[in-house]
């Protein structure tokens, strides 16, 4: 095998060895790894959902915190409805029932593109929010690291990107242990905390920083804001239905069971944390998370406390893997439908959609830098896209049942209709309460993305129409004028001249005169080494090399409009990559200058230098 270059060696080190396409079926997820890879977002959101409720209610005084429990039960009921609705989507769409697919088939192009835009934005925010919350858990245990949270978030984004570039199976192995570590530690926290409550041995915990108690009036708007904040517990629910094809056979059954398990765990942990936070009188703080305070109140500053913080930090950071599983897959589907650039449709060496993974990492990194890695600043942007996709997906399922009218279609439509109604109401609440906190950005970005999708599709349609052979009439053979730009006489030039003569009988060498002595010397040598090719010398009074050459090419084009002009460039290929630093890039400049000229072909004749 040929020796790999430096860039290829770096790629192999980071990404790993290529996986053959025929082994793609071995990269499927079991229910255990599927829960870790696709449910980590929904499970991890319980770590900050309660805190987001409490941060709003405490503005009305500590007495208002008792309302957190009823709000949590309402959200849990909505979560159960949504999960039950999505289980039907999983069975109806075994090839992947994301909101884009469902809306496209049942509601039309524009609703489908709205769903796709909302999902893509949501996936980027999932990465940003999850990682920011994970770093908040880390800095709660180690307050001295709080000043470096932006750097920490970017480091975690890089880690996730590399992990996912290595492929699905290795991602599942990376993320399975932290997910189950979080589940066990959280359930243990709830169990031990409940035992202390029953035994009457609860001691209220003091936060590391001051709690924001402002004693605002307890208005309906404040309650709705707390409710919309708590709905972050529902983010990531649709990920399993999006990723049905990633499961091992039977795909639909495994995905549906995984979603049910996810729902039971998420509801148990979310409600348990909310109830315990009231029993321990936990108040929100800018320096310490609610879960950190609760764990410190239950376990003290023991190793169990640090275990809970470690598990929370890991699951929150790795919860972004839900987006890494679905963002590249959705962009590949959109690329297949010609709504985004086709580069997103290609799988990399490790059977992963590498361009989507890198793009997601870049967008999330920009968000984290813009918002200073602050979870609470990102949360208001988060839920618009989630509930737009929820509502469109469930509405699309209602239309599907009404159209097909199969067995039990009325009951199925009723379940999905209830899901669409509930999520639609939540969407209105979230949009109303979060717009002035920055959610207007998302309401603006969704239509802008839809416009981008339509423009991309129009571009590909126009290109396809121009490239189509329909109505094409073969043209008469055209003349080809071959020009070889040279800067002197040496082996690479002679080799290029020899190649030029094989292309056309009208081959010419073109030399720009910037030094009269060098030009006379070239003319003297040309009879012996010019390969019988005519030499055209162009004057350049201002010592420019490019301008006279481009003017001459325009002149040749004007003399034979519609015919071909081929530019043959002699190029050195250095033995080492760093040798390029010692050579000019004139060939590259010529290629760039002629790229958009019709009927002009640019080709290179490489001359490989030895070690």
Mean pLDDT (whole number) for 297-302:
90
pLDDT at 351 over 60: no
Does 523 reside within a domain?
Answer: yes
Model pLDDT, residue 399? 95
Does 101 reside within a domain?
Answer: yes
User: Are 533 and 396 part of one and the same domain?
Assistant: no
CB distance 317 to 191 below 8 Å: no
CATH number at residue 302: 1.20.1740.10
Within 10 A of 324 (CB to CB), how many other CB atoms are there? 29
- DSSP, collapsed to helix, strand or coil, labels residue 288 as coil
Model pLDDT, residue 3? 45
> Two tokens at 71?
């709000």
pLDDT at 22 over 50: no
Domain count, the chain: 2
Mean pLDDT (whole number) for 83-90:
90
Mean pLDDT (whole number) for 20-37:
66
Of 44-53, 225-234, 444-453, 586-595, give the range with the top mean pLDDT: 444-453
Phi then psi for 565, rounded to 5 degrees? -125, 120
Q: 2 falls in which pLDDT band (50, 70, 90)?
A: very low
Mean pLDDT (whole number) for 217-223:
88
User: Are 307 and 387 part of one and the same domain?
Assistant: yes
Q: pLDDT for 131-143, tens place per residue?
A: 988 888 888 878 7
Model pLDDT, residue 1? 40
**Percent of the chain, pLDDT > 70?**
88
235 vs 268 pLDDT, higher one: 268
User: Are 442 and 558 part of one and the same domain?
Assistant: no
135 vs 11 pLDDT, higher one: 135
Q: By mean pLDDT, which of 10-19, 102-111, 303-312 is the weakest?
A: 10-19
Model pLDDT, residue 82? 92
What b/e readout covers 529-555, taking b as 16+ CB neighbours within 10 angstroms?
ebbebebeebebeeeebeebbeebbee
User: Are 578 and 531 part of one and the same domain?
Assistant: yes
Does 7 reside within a domain?
Answer: no
Q: 609 falls in which pLDDT band (50, 70, 90)?
A: confident
Model pLDDT, residue 539? 85
Does 16 reside within a domain?
Answer: no
Model pLDDT, residue 41? 80
Model pLDDT, residue 455? 96
Does 109 reside within a domain?
Answer: yes
Model pLDDT, residue 211? 53
User: Are 299 and 381 part of one and the same domain?
Assistant: yes
User: Are 265 and 345 part of one and the same domain?
Assistant: yes
In sequence order, the β-bridge partners of residue 484 are: 509
Q: 120 falls in which pLDDT band (50, 70, 90)?
A: very high
User: Are 216 and 329 part of one and the same domain?
Assistant: yes
List the 535-539 sheet strands across, edge first: 535-539, 507-513, 480-486, 564-573, 600-608
Q: By mean pLDDT, which of 151-160, 205-214, 242-251 is the weakest?
A: 205-214
Q: By mean pLDDT, which of 46-55, 209-218, 290-299, 422-431 is the weakest?
A: 209-218
Q: By mean pLDDT, which of 241-250, 348-357, 598-607 is the weakest?
A: 348-357
Q: Which of these three, 399, 424, 459, is where a domain ends?
A: 459
479 vs 587 pLDDT, higher one: 479
pLDDT at 584 over 80: no
Does 468 reside within a domain?
Answer: no
Mean pLDDT (whole number) for 313-338:
84
User: Are 416 and 500 part of one and the same domain?
Assistant: no
What value does the mean pLDDT of the chain take? 84
Model pLDDT, residue 400? 94
pLDDT at 542 over 80: no
User: Are 419 and 503 part of one and the same domain?
Assistant: no
User: Are 362 and 511 part of one and the same domain?
Assistant: no
Model pLDDT, residue 173? 64
Domain that holds residue 526: 480-608
**Percent of the chain, pLDDT > 90?**
34
User: Is 322 buried (19+), middle (13-18) or exposed (0-12) by CB count in 10 A?
Assistant: buried
Mean pLDDT (whole number) for 554-564:
86
Q: 187 falls in which pLDDT band (50, 70, 90)?
A: very high
Mean pLDDT (whole number) for 108-117:
95
In sequence order, the β-bridge partners of residue 537 are: 511
Model pLDDT, residue 18? 55
3-class SS shares of the chain: helix, strand, coil, % to 5: 70, 5, 25
Q: pLDDT for 163-172, tens place per residue?
A: 778 765 445 5
pLDDT at 389 over 50: yes
Q: 26 falls in which pLDDT band (50, 70, 90)?
A: very low
CATH number at residue 566: 3.40.50.620
User: Are 402 and 529 part of one and the same domain?
Assistant: no
Model pLDDT, residue 21? 44
Does 21 reside within a domain?
Answer: no
Model pLDDT, residue 499? 92
In angstroms, the CA 468 to CA 437 distance is 49
Does 464 reside within a domain?
Answer: no
Strand locations in 446-577, DSSP E? Answer: 480-486, 507-513, 535-539, 564-573
User: Are 390 and 523 part of one and the same domain?
Assistant: no
pLDDT at 9 over 80: no
Q: Which of these three, 430, 459, 488, is where a domain ends?
A: 459
pLDDT at 386 over 50: yes
Among the listed residues 326, 324, 122, 167, the one whose alpha carbon sits nearest the alpha carbon of residue 242: 326
């Amino acid at each position: 095998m040929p020796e790999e270059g430096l860039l290829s060696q770096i790629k192999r080190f980071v990404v790993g060895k290529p996986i053959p396409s025929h082994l793609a079926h071995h990269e499927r997820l079991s229910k255990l790894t599927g829960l870790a890879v696709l449910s980590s977002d929904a499970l991890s959101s319980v770590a900050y959902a309660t805190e987001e409720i409490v941060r709003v209610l405490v503005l009305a005084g500590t007495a208002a915190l008792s309302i957190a429990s009823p709000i949590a039960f309402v959200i849990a009921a909505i979560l159960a409805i949504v999960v039950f609705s999505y289980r039907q989507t999983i069975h109806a769409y075994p090839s992947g029932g994301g909101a884009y697919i469902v809306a496209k088939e049942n509601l039309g192009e524009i609703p489908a593109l709205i769903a796709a835009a909302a999902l893509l934005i949501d996936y980027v925010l999932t990465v940003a929010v999850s990682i920011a919350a994970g770093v908040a858990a880390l800095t709660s245990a180690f307050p001295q690291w709080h000043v470096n949270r932006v750097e920490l978030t970017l480091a975690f984004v890089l880690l996730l990107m590399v992990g996912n570039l290595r492929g699905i199976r290795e991602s599942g192995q990376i993320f399975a242990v932290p997910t189950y570590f979080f589940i066990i530690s959280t359930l243990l926290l709830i169990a031990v905390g409940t035992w202390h409550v029953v035994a009457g041995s609860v001691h209220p915990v003091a936060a590391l920083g001051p709690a924001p108690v402002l004693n605002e009036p307890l208005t309906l708007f404040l309650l709705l804001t707390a409710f919309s904040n708590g709905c972050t517990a529902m983010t990531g629910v649709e990920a399993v239905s999006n990723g049905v094809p990633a499961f091992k056979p039977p795909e639909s059954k495994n995905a549906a069971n995984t979603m049910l398990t996810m729902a039971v765990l998420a509801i148990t942990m979310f409600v348990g944390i909310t109830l315990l936070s009231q029993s321990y009188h936990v108040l929100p703080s800018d320096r310490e998370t609610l879960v950190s305070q609760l764990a410190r109140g239950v376990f003290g500053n023991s190793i169990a406390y640090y275990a809970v913080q470690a598990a929370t930090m890991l699951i929150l950071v790795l919860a972004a893997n839900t987006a890494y599983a679905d963002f590249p897959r959705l962009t590949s589907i959109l690329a297949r439908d010609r709504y985004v650039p086709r580069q997103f449709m290609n799988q990399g060496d490790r059977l992963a959609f590498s361009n989507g993974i890198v793009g997601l990492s870049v967008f999330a990194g920009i968000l984290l830098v813009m918002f200073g890695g602050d979870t609470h600043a990102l949360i208001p942007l988060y839920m618009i896209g989630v509930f737009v996709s929820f509502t469109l997906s469930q509405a699309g399922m209602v239309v599907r049942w009404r159209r097909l009218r199969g067995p039990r279609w009325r009951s199925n439509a009723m379940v999905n209709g209830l899901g669409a109604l509930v999520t639609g109401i939540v969407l209105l609440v979230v949009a109303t309460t979060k717009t002035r906190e920055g959610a207007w950005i998302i309401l603006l970005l969704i239509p802008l993305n839809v416009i981008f999708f339509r423009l991309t599709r129009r571009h590909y349609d126009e290109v396809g129409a121009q490239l189509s052979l329909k109505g094409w009439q073969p043209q008469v053979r055209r003349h080809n004028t071959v020009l070889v730009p040279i800067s002197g006489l040496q082996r690479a030039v002679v080799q290029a001249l020899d190649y030029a003569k094989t292309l056309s009988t009208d081959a010419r060498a073109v030399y720009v005169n910037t030094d009269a002595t060098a030009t006379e010397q070239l003319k003297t040598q040309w009879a012996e080494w010019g390969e019988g090719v005519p030499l055209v010398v162009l004057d350049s009074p201002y010592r420019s090399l490019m301008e006279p050459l481009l003017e001459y090419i325009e002149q040749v084009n004007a003399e034979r409009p519609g015919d071909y002009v081929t530019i043959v460039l002699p190029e050195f290929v250095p033995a080492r990559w760093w040798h390029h630093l010692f050579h000019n890039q004139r060939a590259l400049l010529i290629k760039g200058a002629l790229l958009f000229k019709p009927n002009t072909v640019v080709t290179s004749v490489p001359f490989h230098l030895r070690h």
